[in-house]
Structure 1
């Protein structure tokens, strides 16, 4: 939440909306190059902030799309590669 507020010039979250949340998540993905799980954690933290702390029900925040986790294929080595 601290980074969210600092990113937007220390504005209070009640003054911000969907556009600011989207800009922050884009910043995390593009400029900070964080993983999808970190982006999703930020989304969950924002949901908690608005819903539980500020007690604001914001339907647009539920519609923010979660980042897709990259699938990693297992690396399979040949017997020769294992011996090397």
Structure 2
């Protein structure tokens, strides 16, 4: 599968989406709160988002998916 990263980080309510390249289906969404958490953890690298290197982008998408799944598995009272 191939994915696209649709990131709007320089707006009042930033978000990042991972889209399936062929269908346009939204596979994951990170809203402002999750993006803040990623920044706090040091795991949101803007240089990686601007990269054209396939291996860097593949690793970035992988890490974003893992972050989304980890957030989804948290008990609701512990979620930020």
TM-score of the pair, normalised by structure 2: 0.34
Task: Flag the structure with higher strand content.
Answer: 2
User: TM-score with structure 1 length normalisation?
Assistant: 0.33
Larger radius of gyration: 1
